[in-house]
Amino acid sequence: MAAALKTQPDYPRPEINAPLVHKLLVAFIRNEFHKVGVKRAVVGISGGVDSSLSALLGAHALGPENVLGIMMPYKTSSKESLEHARLLADRAGIKTLVVDISPQLDAYFERFAEADRLRRGNKMARERMTILYDHSADFGALVLGTSNKTELLLGYGTLYGDMASAVNPNGDLYKTQIWALAAEAGVPEKIVRKQPSPDLWVGQTSEGELGFSYRQVDELLFLMIDRRYSNEELLEAGFPEHFVRRVSEMVRNSQFKRRLPVIAKLSERTIDRDFRYARDWGR
């Protein structure tokens, strides 16, 4: 028999050991909350998989009685979103509150009737953020974040809106990893399996808007970001050139969303440049 050259069969995929990650994130939330002396969390629950997972992890870490899930529908939001948020809250056993954001949104856009749906969508996300932060003060809690790594890398989120939080357990998990972990953590199957959507306007779906599937982009991002494949290697792995180029540009163009506002360097020690302390400084 002739000797055959052995090659590595395939490229690595973004897989996780879901039970282990579940355990680590529960420990992470407990640790980061307790060290600042806070026992409670507020989380916006939309009925989607990201916020469902975040709320459940919060409940597992802090106890369901210490988690407040706030549903913040707008009048055009899908009824299914609210149903799913309630389903999740029942499953997790957390406290809930419904704040309809229609009156405050409509009052504002009466003055700016020409605003397109992107402006309206971003405004909704930011209204929701102010409600979460307001109730976090009332409930003696920190805001638990929901943004996942795929959306953070692509910039597919509203700066100071849904991207705002104190502690984010989802931020180093790609969307497909979120699905795996959500199933493990006990998020109801119909929430895990449904088509992802920010639900900012009727019929909006994330994959429709992005133009590719989460599975495709997660495999690409994992190699590009985590495993540092060059563009050449990505093409060799079989990703189309236009896809690689588009995703690279999205990551680069959204870098500002992952940073503090840029500060002009004047003094000897400028915040975050040469004044460097951990957030957990002295904790």
Stretch that binds another protein, among 8-16, 101-109, 205-213, 256-264 (CB under 8 A): 8-16
User: Positive or negative CA dihedral for 247, 249, 254, 258?
Assistant: positive
**Angle 117-139/102-111 helices, nearest 10 degrees?**
140
Contact 48, 80 (CB under 8 A): no
In the chain, the amino acid numbered 66 is: N
Number of residues that bind another protein (CB under 8 A): 22
Give alpha helix (H) positions in 63-116: 79-92, 102-111
In the chain, the amino acid numbered 25 is: L
CB of 60 to another protein, least distance (A): 15
Stretch that binds another protein, among 11-19, 44-52, 129-137, 193-201 (CB under 8 A): 11-19
Q: Which of 5, 8, 21, 64 binds another protein (CB under 8 A)?
A: 21
**Residue owning tokens 């009925």:** 47
Take residue 103 and report the two structure tokens written for it.
């009156």
Determine if 263 is a binding residue for another protein (CB under 8 A). Answer: no
**Angstrom distance (rounded) from CA 120 to CA 105:** 8
**Angstrom distance (rounded) from CA 133 to CA 164:** 9
Q: Which of residues 167-206 bind another protein (CB under 8 A)?
A: none
CB of 183 to another protein, least distance (A): 15
Determine if 258 is a binding residue for another protein (CB under 8 A). Answer: no
Determine if 9 is a binding residue for another protein (CB under 8 A). Answer: no
Determine if 113 is a binding residue for another protein (CB under 8 A). Answer: no
Contact string 25-64 vs another protein (x = CB under 8 A): --xx--xx--x-----------------------------
**Angstrom distance (rounded) from CA 271 to CA 254:** 22
Stretch that binds another protein, among 17-25, 114-122, 207-215, 252-260 (CB under 8 A): 17-25
Determine if 17 is a binding residue for another protein (CB under 8 A). Answer: yes
**Angstrom distance (rounded) from CA 203 to CA 209:** 10
Smaller CB separation from another protein, 77 or 170: 170
List C-alpha distances in Å: 140 to 42, 150, 165, 167, 253: 9, 30, 15, 15, 36
Determine if 24 is a binding residue for another protein (CB under 8 A). Answer: yes
CB of 73 to another protein, least distance (A): 31
Determine if 270 is a binding residue for another protein (CB under 8 A). Answer: no
Determine if 20 is a binding residue for another protein (CB under 8 A). Answer: yes
List C-alpha distances in Å: 171 to 32, 124, 164, 167: 15, 21, 12, 9
Determine if 281 is a binding residue for another protein (CB under 8 A). Answer: yes
How many Å is the maximal CA-CA distance in the chain?
80
CB of 228 to another protein, least distance (A): 11
Contact positions vs another protein (CB under 8 A): 12, 15-17, 20-21, 23-24, 27-28, 31-32, 35, 275-283
